[in-house]
């Protein structure tokens, strides 16, 4: 099987932004298949983003990992909810995931289809509320990692490398 990593960037971002470029290069150098679609930010309709993901991702299998940032985290969950069925994937790593906490997500389906999930938050992220952290923590059953002083893990916050995500990807493939 091919070790496939799917990136889903955040709102008004792109696959070469902030730490995605560094992570993508590191993963490609190690032989991973990296799928990094550029999502349209002209429309904040997550369902249009989900349709775009369907065009790029291809088949989901037990060697697929999603790495998503901000709005991309929520989009990833909604995409997986729609696409997983009885398929299993290796896991997801969500970095500063945004959420509409009123939106219903079938967390039981998602959790049963993942080997593991990891969420990375920053202790000083002005975009992600404690309510959103709690929403993911209570519902996804993920390993939660808090990084110090990373803001929203964006270019604006000067986050151009994110070694914890590379480490977690490698750990997922060892498990």
* pLDDT for residue 104: 87
**Mean pLDDT value across the chain:** 91
pLDDT level of residue 43 (50, 70, 90 thresholds): low
Judging by beta carbons within 10 Å of its beta carbon (0-12, 13-18, 19+), is residue 174 exposed, middle or buried?
exposed
Phi/psi for 52 (5° steps) reads: -65, -40
Reduce the DSSP state of residue 46 to 3 states and report it.
Answer: helix
Confidence (pTM)? 0.94
Distances (CA, A) of 159 to 19, 22, 147, 155, 156: 6, 10, 12, 6, 8
* pLDDT for residue 68: 97
Average pLDDT value for residue range 131-156: 93
46-91 pLDDT tens trace: 788 888 888 889 889 999 999 999 999 999 999 999 998 888 999 9
Token pair belonging to 23:
């992570």
Query: CATH for 4-174, among 3.40.640.10, 3.40.50.300, 3.40.50.1820, 3.30.450.20?
Result: 3.40.50.1820
Domain boundaries, the chain: 4-174
* pLDDT for residue 14: 74
């Amino acid at each position: 099987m091919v070790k496939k990593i799917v990136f889903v960037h955040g709102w008004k971002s792109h696959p070469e932004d902030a730490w995605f470029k560094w992570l993508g290069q590191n993963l490609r150098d190690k032989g991973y298949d990296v799928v990094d679609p550029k999502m349209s930010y002209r429309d904040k309709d997550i369902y249009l983003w989900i349709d775009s993901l369907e065009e790029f991702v291809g088949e989901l299998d037990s060697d697929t990992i999603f790495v998503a940032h901000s709005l991309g985290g929520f989009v990833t969950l909604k995409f997986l909810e729609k696409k997983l069925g009885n398929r299993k994937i290796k896991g997801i790593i969500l970095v500063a995931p945004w959420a509409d906490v009123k939106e219903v997500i079938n967390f039981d389906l998602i959790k049963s289809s993942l080997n593991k999930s990891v969420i990375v938050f920053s202790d000083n992220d002005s975009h992600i509320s404690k309510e959103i952290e709690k929403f993911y923590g209570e519902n996804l059953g993920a390993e939660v990692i808090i990084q110090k002083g990373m803001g929203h893990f964006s270019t604006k916050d000067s986050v151009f490398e994110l070694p914890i995500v590379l480490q977690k990807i490698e750990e997922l493939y060892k498990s």
